[in-house]
Amino acid sequence: MADSAPTDPGVLPVRARGVTKTFTTGAVATPALRGVDLDVRAGEMLMLVGPSGCGKTTLISVVAGILDHDGGEVVVFGQDLGRMDAAARTRFRRDHLGFVFQAFNLIPALTAAENVSIPAILGGMPRRQAEQKARELLAQVGLGDRHGSRPTQLSGGQQQRVAIARALIHEPRLIVCDEPTSALDHRTGEQALELLRAVVVRPGRALVVVTHDARIFHHADRIATMDDGRIVGERLPSALLPSGAHP
């Protein structure tokens, strides 16, 4: 896999300063980010929480390099995304980013192993080798016997595991998850988060999770709360947990 980012373990995975983004529809301008400052540290699971429309998804899109920001600075593993052209950002995502989407976005016509192998193939790995690695990863996430199944033959929790394996196959250093439990029941969601923590969180790798689901807050190392396009607080998970919930 090509590696255009510095490998210095001291480099912050994400460093955002004064990030702004405004969406314009006709004459109407809607500010989505109003000067966001955010650091994501290596080896941590950061949860981004806040009410609907507060800018969480916009921020994660900007940090992941799939949406341009208007102002400020977004540096991911030492690389300033604002200074990259579209093609360079595409290569950067391919090599360093892993995604777990809310709706999984597994291609229905492909088997689990074929879905998982896609990022590796995009990175230049031969198909056969990529699918072998995909089967190994599926075994790691407990789906060793379902590598030939298509998404429609899998439960929601199993599809989420396939999506997690897909986010890991090319060994990215930043993984972004968008509402990873919203399509799952509580127990399956818990299992997905446990799996994410078990297989994703590693030294030198960071995980950013956007969620509404307060029941999974206890999995985070740190929680950043957003409101009205700004980070309005950062705290440890215990501070946000309702009494009687997980420690």
Partner 1 sequence: MDHVALKMLIGDRVRFLGMVFGLTFTAMLITQQMSIFLGLMSRAYAAVTDIPAAQVWVMDPSMDTIDLGGARGLSATAVDRVRAVPGVAWAVEHLRMPTEATIFQASGGERRDCLLIGVDDQSGIGLPRIVAGRIEDLRRDDAIFIDRDGLDKFARSGVTVRVGDTIEVNDHRAYVAGVVEAAVPVWFSPYLYTTATRARSWLPPLRRDTTFVVARVVDGADPAVVAAAITRRTGLRAETTPVFTRMAASHFATNTGIPITFGTAVGLGFVVGTVIAGLLFFQFTRDNLRYFGALKAMGASDGVLLRMVLLQAALVGLLGYGFGTGLAALFGLVAGGSQLAWLLPPWLLGVTFLAISLICLAAAALSIRTVIRLEPAVVFRG
Binding site for partner 1 (CB under 8 A): 57, 60-61, 64, 66-67, 87, 90-91, 93-95, 97, 99, 101-103, 105, 107-110, 114, 118-119, 121-123, 127, 178-179, 210
CB 146 → partner 1: shortest distance, Å?
18
CB 167 → partner 1: shortest distance, Å?
9
DSSP symbol at 36: E
Summarize the chain as % helix, strand, coil (round to 5). Answer: 35, 25, 40
DSSP symbol at 151: G
CB 121 → partner 1: shortest distance, Å?
6
CB nearer partner 1, residue 109 or residue 245: 109
The answer to whether the beta carbons of residues 159 and 100 sit under 8 Å apart is no
* Helix locations, 41-126, DSSP H: 56-63, 86-96, 112-122
CB nearer partner 1, residue 64 or residue 237: 64
Question: Which residues lie closer than 8 Å to 221 by C-beta, 6 or more apart?
Answer: 44, 45, 46, 201, 237
Nearest residue to 230 via CA among 45, 46, 59: 59
CB nearer partner 1, residue 85 or residue 243: 85
DSSP symbol at 215: G
CB nearer partner 1, residue 71 or residue 124: 124
What pairs with residue 80 in β-bridges?
A: 75
CB 61 → partner 1: shortest distance, Å?
4
CB 185 → partner 1: shortest distance, Å?
18
CB nearer partner 1, residue 122 or residue 241: 122
